[in-house]
Amino acid sequence: MDTQQVKQIIMQELSAILQQDAEVRQFILRLSRQHFADKVETESRFDRLLDELRRDREEQNRKWDENQAVINEMRKAQARKWEEQNRKWDENQQAIRQNQAVIQEMLKSIQNLGRQYDSTIGALGARWGLHTEQSFRNALKGILEEFSGVEVINVVEYDDAGEVFGRPDQVELDIIVKDDLLFLCEIKSSMSKSDMYAFERKVRFYERRHERTVNRMLVISPMVDRQAQTVADNPGIQVYSYAQDVDPAIFA
């Protein structure tokens, strides 16, 4: 009988032998313990493994709770920081709005002062212009009447047809007369291009109304616009900055 046949017989009879023969069972157990743990040892090992897993889980839970506590503290600190920043932002915005309101009030005050200043300067300028023109007129009269036979007359005539200004209005002229010579003079604190054209129209208006030829046209003004000077050159208007500059030789 070979080994294979012996093995088959053992496999067939082993179960019945183990049930009937305690010695054989002990023998088999001793042999198996050399290679495999018994039930008690297996259960003990399993329990130890479960205990290790439980302790690991508890440790992980503890660390998780600690981490969550740290995260919660960080969140609270960040929230407090944001609240502080928002509070400062609101305070800054309120301060900016208040400053803007103050600036707007200051700008309004400055604008009001500017308008008052412009009005005051405009009024003073107008008064200064009137007084200056009268001063020039008086100076011209005083200077020219020193010469024999020279007379300075300020006349105001009414232009019914609106030939000078495009509508009916008064026309003021300073007339210088010497013997048979007739000079018309415009005395102004400043002369613009349109003022120069208006003066020429005044002269032509006077010539038509009185049927007389004007020998010379004079403009006396300390401020003459460059374009106005160009206009004066064409019709032959003589321009002087001051009454003292008028050349007495023109009356010769």
pLDDT tens digits along 86-141: 888 888 888 888 888 888 887 777 766 655 544 343 333 444 444 556 666 666 66
Distance of alpha carbon 111 from alpha carbon 117, whole angstroms:
9
The rounded distance, in Å, linking the Cα atoms of 195 and 202 is: 10
Paired with 219 in beta bridges are 186, 239
Owner of token pair 């102004």: 188
Whether 9 shows a pLDDT value over 80: the answer reads no
Query: What CATH number corresponds to the domain at position 225?
Result: 3.40.1350.10
Residues 144 and 159: their CA atoms lie apart, in Å, by 28
List CB contacts of 151: < 8 A, sequence separation 6 or more: 145, 176, 177, 178
Is residue 163 in a domain? yes
Looking up tokens 């001063």, which residue turns up? 135
Question: What's the rounded Cα separation, in Å, for the pair 142 and 179?
Answer: 18
**Predicted local confidence at residue 129, as pLDDT:** 45
Residue 202 identity (one-letter amino acid) = K
3-class secondary-structure state, position 66: helix
Has residue 79 been placed in a domain? no
Question: Exposed/middle/buried for 175, CB within 10 Å: 0-12, 13-18, 19+?
Answer: middle
Average of pLDDT values for 232-242?
82
- pLDDT, mean of residues 38-56: 72
* Higher-confidence position of 66 and 5: 66
Number of domains into which the chain is organized: 2
Full domain range(s) for residue 197: 145-251
* In a domain? residue 122: no
| Residue at token pair 């839970």 | 61
State residue 79's pLDDT score.
84
Instruction: Give the C-alpha separation, 86 to 88, whole Å.
Output: 5
Cα–Cα distance measured from residue 141 to residue 124, given in angstroms and rounded to the nearest whole number: 25
Q: The tokens of 167 are what?
A: 């509508």
> Does residue 172 fall inside a structural domain?
yes
